[in-house]
Chains A and B, each alone.
Chain A
Amino acid sequence: MMKMKKNWNLIIGLSITGVILTAAVAAQFWTPYSVTEMDASSVNLAPSLVHLMGTDNFGRDVFSRTLNGIGITFLTASLAVAIGAFAGILLGAVTGYYGGLFDELVMGVVNMILAFPSILLALIFISFLGVGTGNLIAALGILYIPPFVRIVRSEMIRCRDLDFVRSARVMGVGTGRIIYSHILPNALISILSTLTVTFNNAVLSEAGMSYLGLGVQPPVPSLGRMLSEAQPYLGINPWYGIFPGLLILLLILGIALVNEGLQREKA
């Protein structure tokens, strides 16, 4: 009876993400070398047992900086997604459950935002707000509200007139409780899936914006910025340009596999 096919996507995805997250958290407390200290005697070294990923143009240990930097990426992306999810679920629940003029207005804005590529909107927001990590989180957070609104709203519309909701209403259950404990759990997998997709977008946007110099500011290590710093030295030290990028790739792949696994779980 309990013979379920193993969900390899979910297992591999969670393992990759778990390992990266653990390493990133650990790197906030301890790294083999200092993250910011420069060493003029060991500039642009290739990977070796002393420096696992080599050193950068200032002689800093790339391994330490990469692990520490992925922590910043995790934090930025998680906060942005948290803002989007919180506001989006709330807005989606209200607009979907009640409908009406407010619903139409919100959906108009939501569809307009969804029509634009997010990196472009992030750029525009940053040009208003100014450069900085906090501003980037705020900008991305706002951009990630619409997908959650859409997914929760459609679930509300689907369920609000179904029998189980009606009977709950007849029994005198309050609206907040109906939304929260009767309808919302139905949308759980869709919400989780949206979480993974937006998280990946956030990682990409953070790395992209930092690459452009409009995200995380030095001396805080950031994977995107490391790539842009590595670029002039590609000829002498290609490793510096490869490891930070590989780590971003792995993180995104891990989360995408989790999403894939969730989709199969749903089916």
Chain B
Amino acid sequence: MNYIIRKIITLILTLLLISAMTFGAFSVIPGDASVSRLGTEATQEQIDALRAEMGLDRPVTERYISWVRGAVHGDFGESLRYSGTTVRELLSDRLTATVLLAVIALAMMFVFSVPLALLSVHFKNHWQDTLISQLVQLAMAVPSFFLGILLTYFFGIALKLFQPGKFVAPSEDFLGAVRYLVFPAMAIALPKGAMVTRFIRNAVLGEMKKDYVRTARSKGSSRDRILYRHVLRNALIPVITFAAMIAVQILAGSIVVEQVFSVPGVGRLLVSSISSRDYPVVQAIVIYITAIVVIMNFAIDLIYQLADPRVKGDQG
């Protein structure tokens, strides 16, 4: 229990630190928000007036404190590019699309990587294993956005299975959205799934070299029984850790792939906000992703302890 409280405090501190750092960095960048909204031809009086209205004339620390106060209540301020729209409104729709994409990609990844890895283990050093290894090697080298373009061409333009660029929001047509997202999800899942396949294969094979496997074998257990009863259970811990790491990367991978398939998600918003210097939005997205990364790592620690009682909380 003590451990969890300590972790939560670390989580809050990390978030405060990251937000302070991004806030500080954004406030020293030349050409602040007022200039980017009014354009370069605005007079000094106009700029001063807007700065006062936006509260930019106050010192950084004061602004940061009021930002944190708002953020705690889910209020991240207003977007600069779409004036009058709060960051929260901008984010909420896009969040659904991104999370949906990530979930589909994650599911897809496991659906093909786990059986492939087990197949590889079963046929260890036979041609099937070699073939799978070569394919994995190849799939790991494909940049996800290139794969996205290939998928767009084959499934979108040649086979007309979906209309590239015509994404319908999940709130309007959930099934339609899912059907569209299958293709970007594939672009993310294939390279990452290849990594997971290889990782599971090596984890299981490494585990099978251990003494207890030989003991079980000499007592008459069949190979498959040992594999499913003992080895997989023990190989689970490193695999979970790795999968959680990959999950974070899937989220990041969606930044580029959303662009390829014109999915209006968080990643696309982040990229366009960086280009148009819409800092409140960038700030909010950075904080949101940081929170996810930190919470994921926290979850990995917890799963670790549940899966293996030998891991003590104190080490984390």
Whether B259 pairs with A212 at a CB distance below 8 angstroms is yes
| A245 cross-chain contacts in B, Cβ below 8 A | 143, 146, 149-150
Assembled-state Cα–Cα distance A242/B142 (Å)? 12
A219 within 8 A of B: no
The segment out of A41-49, A61-69, A85-93, A226-234 that lies at the interface is A226-234
Query: Number of contact residues on B: which range applies?
Result: 35 or more
Residue in B closest to A118 when the chains form the complex, CB atoms: B252
Whether A115 pairs with B297 at a CB distance below 8 angstroms is yes
The interface bits of chain B over 275-290 (1 if a CB of A lies within 8 angstroms of the residue's CB, else 0) are: 1000000100010011
A23 within 8 A of B: no
Chain A interface residue count, CB cutoff 8 Å, equals 38
Q: Closest CB-CB distance, A206 to chain B, in whole Å? A: 10
Whether A249 pairs with B146 at a CB distance below 8 angstroms is yes
Which secondary structure dominates where chain A touches chain B?
Answer: helix
Which of B25, B149, B256, B260 contacts A119 (CB under 8 A)? B256
Assembled-state Cα–Cα distance A124/B289 (Å)? 11
B162 within 8 A of A: no
Whether B286 pairs with A124 at a CB distance below 8 angstroms is yes
The interface bits of chain A over 78-122 (1 if a CB of B lies within 8 angstroms of the residue's CB, else 0) are: 000000000000000000000000000000000010011101100
Contact flag A227-B270 (CB < 8 Å), given A117-B248, A120-B252, A256-B141: no
| B271 cross-chain contacts in A, Cβ below 8 A | 123, 212-214
B65 within 8 A of A: no
Interface residues of chain B, those whose CB is within 8 Å of chain A, are 14, 22, 25-26, 29, 137-138, 140-143, 145-146, 149-150, 152-153, 157, 248-249, 251-253, 255-256, 259-260, 270-271, 274-275, 282, 286, 289-290, 293-294, 297
Closest CB pairs A-B (n = 10): A117-B252, A245-B146, A253-B141, A252-B141, A127-B274, A120-B252, A128-B25, A117-B249, A241-B149, A208-B256
30 contacts between A and B (CB under 8 A): A115-B297, A117-B251, A119-B255, A123-B270, A123-B274, A124-B282, A124-B286, A127-B282, A128-B25, A128-B29, A207-B143, A208-B145, A208-B256, A212-B259, A213-B275, A214-B271, A227-B145, A228-B259, A231-B152, A234-B157, A238-B153, A242-B149, A242-B153, A248-B146, A249-B142, A249-B143, A252-B141, A252-B143, A256-B141, A260-B137
Q: Please give 14 more A-B residue pairs, beta carbons under 8 A apart, in addition to A128-B26, A131-B275, A250-B141.
A: A115-B293, A117-B248, A127-B282, A207-B145, A211-B259, A213-B275, A228-B259, A241-B153, A242-B153, A245-B146, A245-B150, A249-B146, A252-B143, A253-B141
Interface residues of chain A, those whose CB is within 8 Å of chain B, are 112, 115-117, 119-120, 123-124, 126-128, 131, 204, 207-208, 211-214, 224, 227-228, 230-231, 234-235, 238, 241-242, 245, 248-250, 252-253, 256-257, 260
